[in-house]
Structure 1
């Protein structure tokens, strides 16, 4: 059973853990790391959530990431999640911290009240899709798309793919990456 540390709305620890499922059901704030993976052509790596995932199966994620284990740092989680989901271990200095985003995703149909304090990182890669190793129970497919194109879709609301909600926080995540790299997107 995966346990999550619980925090208040200001990201202060409350001193207890809860099973992940219960935290998502109850709307408890917890911590995650989100990593925008960009190649040298400024294309963002998109990952298709596995069809057997409990939440949001068959949606495209614009970043890799996941929940912090109790006592884990945001950066340690980011490194672990990159390695688990796409089979690459970042070297020292390859992760760039971009800032924090609060994410709230609510889907009453599946009793999901997800509230996250997410640390956002950028990870630049010089790899082809075939050089990644997908985590079989998490990722069903990978593709690169130009960051500017994905940001245009988020800003206009005209999506060519089914991206994971909530769109406002993921748009903010991608804008942080574009600003960091000084990309006119």
Structure 2
């Protein structure tokens, strides 16, 4: 659905941010620039210098900690995307890698108390075919799930508690399990 065309207004101008004076570092790995943002209340513009590391790859999935002092995000700075943590209480800090998962990591999510971060990480075929505590292979096909396991899973979902554990089955409303070649680990 396309938006209906209309004339530009003064309020629209107050939403326009732009970049000024980009400068590439001597080693060519970073660029510094000025981000200009309108401040309608002060009837002026705010200017902040931003530094972008061009070789670091794409960043995505930013998630604030509950207290707002840290930012978790996904960055493709190496072969596989990993989760990084950036302290925001003191500006100018450097992000540090939280994960170094073989197959990468994505979708960070903070615990309500801000003490832990859950992530999704693709599992290799070897990890998927491990045995549980009783020596039985996991994951089980959907048609072999026992009623007991389905009831336990339903009870856990009802509790809606934050519990980062490997998920081998994802039950649907019909009580079947999702099984395919790609599994994630929380």
Taking structure 2 as the reference length, what is the TM-score of the superposition? Answer: 0.27
Q: Which is higher, the Rg of structure 1 or of structure 2?
A: 2
Taking structure 1 as the reference length, what is the TM-score of the superposition? Answer: 0.27
Larger RCO of the pair (alpha carbons < 8 Å, separation 6+): 1
The structure whose residues are more often helix, as a share, is: 1
